[in-house]
Amino acid sequence: MKATELSNLPVHPSEVPAGKPHKWALWLARQYDKGPRSLELNLAVPRQDAESSFERALRLVHDVYVKKQYIAPRPSGLHLNLFLLLPRSRTFMIHVGHRVIGTLSVVLDSPFGLPVDALYPEALEQLRQSLPVPSEEVAMLSQLFWDSTDFAPLEKFVNLESTRIGELTAFALDEAFQSHTVSSASISLELMRTSYKYSVMAGVCGYVVEVNRSHAQFYERFWGFKTIATGRVFPADQEPAVAMNCSPLELTKNFAEAEKSAGGIESLLLLKQREHDVLAAAVQVPLMSADTLRYFLEHRFHPEEPSVWERAAPPERAAFEKAYQPFGYDFSWAHHDR
C-alpha cells in the first residue's frame, strides 16, 4: 500500500466507520509502523519457576486488574485460577526482552465450564443450546488452519462435539504501554489473532468475552461481537460489565478483510512469522507434566494466601480431575488428609 493511501486512513478508532472493521486493522497497521520492532509473540508455558513467562503473565494481569478494581489484590500478586490450568487453556503473551507487555488467555468449553458461567449462567446455557454442531464452514476453516501450519491434528486435542465455545479472558497490557496507542493497538491485534486461530483449530464455533460496557463498542464495531447479557458493576467507574458473543466466521471475515486491504504493510505481519511456532506449541496437550500441574494446584505462592486447590470447592475439584482423566494424571495426592 502506498504512503498516500496510508495517509488517508483513520487516525483514531472514533473515526472508523461502523461496519468497516478492516479499516480499524489498517489504522493499527499504520500505528504499528511507528512502533518498536523488538516485540516477540510467545506461548506462556507453566513451569515451576517464579520467573517463567506464565507467572510473569499472571502478575501482569493481577496488577492491571487490581488497578482497575476488577479484582481484590492478592498477597501472591498472581491472577491464577483453575480455568487457566485446564488441559486446553492457553495463555499467549507478547514481550520485549524479559518483560511481558501484553497477555490474553483462551479457555475452551468443557464440563468444567467457563469463567463467565459464574455471572451469566442462563445466557451461556442459551448460547450453548443455540450453537449447532460446528457447521461445514467452521470445520473447513479449522482444517485450513491445520493444513497451513503443516502439523497434523491430534486426536486428543480436536473434539468438535464438545468444544463449541471459547472464552477470551485475562487480557492485560503493561501500564507503560497503555498510554501509547501505537503499541497497545498492535499488541491487542496480535494477541487476538493468535488466540482466534488457536481456538478455531480446536473447533470453536462461538466466542464469549466479558468486558466493561465502555469497551463493548470496540468489540462490537471492530470484531463483530454482540452483547448477550449485562452483569456486575465494576467499582472503578460504576459501569456494568457485559458478556458478548461472536462467531469464528465473523472474525475470519474481519481478519481476511484486514489482511487483504493491508496489502504490503509489512508491520501488520511483523509477528506473524512467529505464529506457526507458537500454534505448534499450543496444540500440544497437555502442556504441563503431572508434577508441574500439582505444583500450580497446591503450591502456596504466599504464606497468607490459600493455594488454588484449597480455594476450590469439592465439585470444582471433581470436574477438574475429570478434565485430566484422558491423560492418566494421578490425583491421589489430592485425596490424602492434609
Q: Are 86 and 106 in contact (CB under 8 A)?
A: no
Percent share of the chain, pLDDT over 70:
68
The CATH number of residue 129's host domain is 3.40.630.30
> Which run of H or E residues covers position 139?
helix 136-148
* Three-state secondary-structure class, residue 162: coil
SS3 assignment for 76-103: CCCCCCHHHHCCCCEEEEEEECCEEEEE
ω into residue 134 within 30 of 0, thus cis?
Answer: no
Indicate whether 73 pLDDT > 90: yes
Q: What is the pLDDT of residue 16?
A: 46
Task: Locate 255 and state its grid cell.
Answer: 481478519
Identify the pLDDT of residue 62. Answer: 96
Please write the tens of the pLDDT for every residue from 261-271: 544 444 444 55
Lowest mean pLDDT among 37-41, 267-271, 288-292, 304-308: 267-271
Q: Which residue has the higher pLDDT, 176 or 83?
A: 83
d(CA 119, CA 243): 9
Please report, to the nearest 10 degrees, the dihedral formed by the alpha carbons of residues 141, 142, 148, 150 taken in order. -160
pLDDT at 28 > cutoff 60:
no
Counting Cα atoms < 13 Å in the Cβ hemisphere of 302 gives 10
Count Cβ neighbours within 10 Å for each residue of 153-178 and write b for 16 or more, e otherwise: beeebbeeeebbbbbbbbbbbbeebe
Q: Nearest CA to 59 among 9, 103, 22?
A: 103
Q: Which SS3 state, helix, strand or coil, does residue 315 take?
A: helix
* pLDDT for the residue numbered 12: 43
pLDDT, residue 11, reads 39
Choose between 269 and 67: higher pLDDT. 67
pLDDT digits (tens, 9 = 90+) for 105-145: 999 998 899 999 988 999 999 998 887 666 666 667 777 67
pLDDT for the residue numbered 233? 66
How far is 147 from 214, CA to CA, in rounded Å?
38
Nearest to 242 by CA among 122, 119, 126: 119
Domains of the chain: total: 1
At residue 2 the predicted structure's pLDDT band, cuts being 50, 70 and 90, is: very low
Q: Does position 290 have pLDDT exceeding 70, yes or no?
A: yes
Q: What span, in angstroms and rounded, lies between the C-alpha atoms of 153 and 155?
A: 6
What per-residue confidence (pLDDT) applies to 262?
47
Residue type, 106: V
Return all residues near 200 (Cβ < 8 A) that are at least 6 apart. 138, 141, 142, 145, 248, 252
Q: Range of 96's domain?
A: 3-335
Which pLDDT score is estimated for 268? Answer: 45
Note whether 298 and 307 are within 8 A (CB).
yes
The DSSP string of 242-275 is: EEEEE-HHHHHHHHHHHHHHHTT-GGGGTTHHHH
Q: Rg of the chain's alpha carbons, rounded to an integer?
A: 20
Cell matching residue 7: 495517509
Q: List b or e across 191-228, with b for residues whose CB sees 16 or more CB atoms inside 10 angstroms.
A: bbbbbbbbbbbbbbbbbbbbbbbeebeebbbbbbbeeb
Contacts of residue 147, defined as CB under 8 A and 6 or more positions apart, other chains included, come to none
8, amino acid identity: N
